[in-house]
């Protein structure tokens, strides 16, 4: 089967992710004949039938996640994934265990950063597993993400990994398995929606040889800059608590 090409159509006030299998694409500013994409590829610009110009660019991971990936009820937001990467120093070539795949957003963001390192992700719910599998395939990251339809609280066989992320109910049940999976100096990161869960997981972490333990929340507030400058009245503020710990022996 021929692989479908995906491109971003970008203007100052509109952005679309489209497949080359579509013949006519409708925007707010008119119709686009996608057959023109191949003919006008070098110019990198395509017009609607009303004359509005769109730049044709290659999509990145942000475009896929925002415009095409399917979401289950909860995901680890990019702002929190970025904090995890920054606080752990995860980088190219690292290996990651991701417990609780969900829609696959964190696994994909991690894989996009650590490739050619690998991400092994666990999801016990089959319906959720299938959604994540399609998302990962769509983003072109299947080569770097290994999915397991298993309950990680029963064990994690991977060893000497750089990072273990956990986003499941009762995460304290997987802490000991995560410890065994990490190499010395590796990080455990637990995403928790409630303070009660933070207390339970931190208590478990402190019983093992982890250090540099801390819990943070990541609040991002967007500002409006047109007409007046002030914080926007609507935004995504608190999403969850993130607990970090490092294996020291």
CATH superfamily of 63-247: Vaccinia Virus protein VP39 (3.40.50.150)
pTM over 0.75: yes
Q: Among 174, 180, 183, 108, which residue's Cα sits nearest to residue 146?
A: 108
Q: Which CATH number among 3.30.465.10, 3.30.1490.20, 3.10.330.20, 3.40.50.2000 corresponds to the domain 6-59?
A: 3.10.330.20
CA dihedral 31, 36, 42, 44 (to 10 degrees): 10
Q: Which residues of 60-97 are buried (b: 16+ CB within 10 A; e: fewer)?
A: ebebbbeeebeebeebbbbebbebbbebbebeeebbbb
Structure tokens at 79: 């702002």
Predicted local distance difference test score (pLDDT) of residue 147: 98
pLDDT value for 166: 98
Least confident among 33-47, 71-85, 190-204, 222-236: 33-47
Report which of 199, 200, 202 is spatially closest to residue 211, judged by C-alpha positions: 202
Q: Which of 115, 21, 110, 8 is nearest to 66 (CA)?
A: 8
Does the structure show a pLDDT above 70 at 41?
Answer: no
Q: What is the pLDDT of residues 186-245, one digit of tens each?
A: 999 999 999 999 999 999 999 999 999 999 999 988 899 988 999 988 777 789 999 999
The reply to whether domains 6-59 and 63-247 share a CATH topology is no
pLDDT of 22 strictly over 70: no
Q: How far is CA 88 from CA 14, 156, 162, in A?
A: 35, 20, 9
Distance CA 46, CA 134 (A): 29
**pLDDT (tens digit per residue) in 147-182:** 999 999 999 999 999 999 999 999 999 999 999 999
Every domain of the chain and the residues it spans: 6-59, 63-247
pLDDT band of 25, cuts 50, 70, 90? confident
CA distance 249 to 246: 9
Cα 137 from chain centre: 14
pLDDT score at 246: 98
Which residue is it, tokens 């994909």? Answer: 108
**Tens-digit pLDDT profile for residues 90-140:** 999 999 999 999 999 999 999 999 999 999 999 999 999 999 999 999 899
Q: State the Cα–Cα distance between residues 76 and 221, nearest whole angstrom.
A: 17
Rounded CA-CA distance 215/100 in Å is 19
């Amino acid at each position: 089967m021929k692989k479908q090409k995906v491109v971003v159509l970008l203007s100052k006030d509109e952005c679309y992710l489209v497949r080359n299998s579509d013949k006519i694409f409708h925007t707010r500013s008119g119709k686009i004949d996608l057959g023109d994409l191949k003919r006008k590829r070098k110019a990198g610009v395509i017009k609607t039938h009303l004359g509005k110009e769109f730049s044709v660019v290659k999509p990145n991971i942000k475009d896929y996640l925002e415009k095409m990936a399917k979401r289950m009820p909860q995901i680890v937001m990019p702002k929190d994934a970025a904090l995890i990467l920054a606080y752990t120093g995860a980088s190219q070539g690292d290996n990651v265990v991701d417990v609780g795949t969900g829609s696959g957003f964190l696994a994909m963001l991690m894989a996009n950063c650590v490739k050619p390192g690998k991400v092994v992700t666990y999801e016990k719910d089959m319906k959720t597993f299938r959604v994540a599998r399609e998302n990962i395939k769509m983003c072109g990251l299947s080569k770097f993400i290994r999915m397991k339809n298993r309950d990680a609280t029963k064990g994690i066989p991977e060893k000497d990994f750089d990072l273990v992320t956990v986003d499941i109910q009762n995460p304290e049940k997987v802490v000991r398995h995560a410890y065994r999976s990490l190499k010395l100096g590796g990080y455990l990161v637990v995403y928790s929606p409630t303070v009660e869960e933070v207390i339970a997981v931190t208590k478990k972490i402190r019983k093992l040889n982890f250090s540099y333990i801390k819990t943070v929340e990541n609040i991002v507030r967007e500002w409006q800059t047109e007409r007046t400058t002030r914080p926007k009245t609507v935004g995504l503020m608190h999403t969850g608590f993130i607990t970090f710990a490092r294996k020291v022996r």
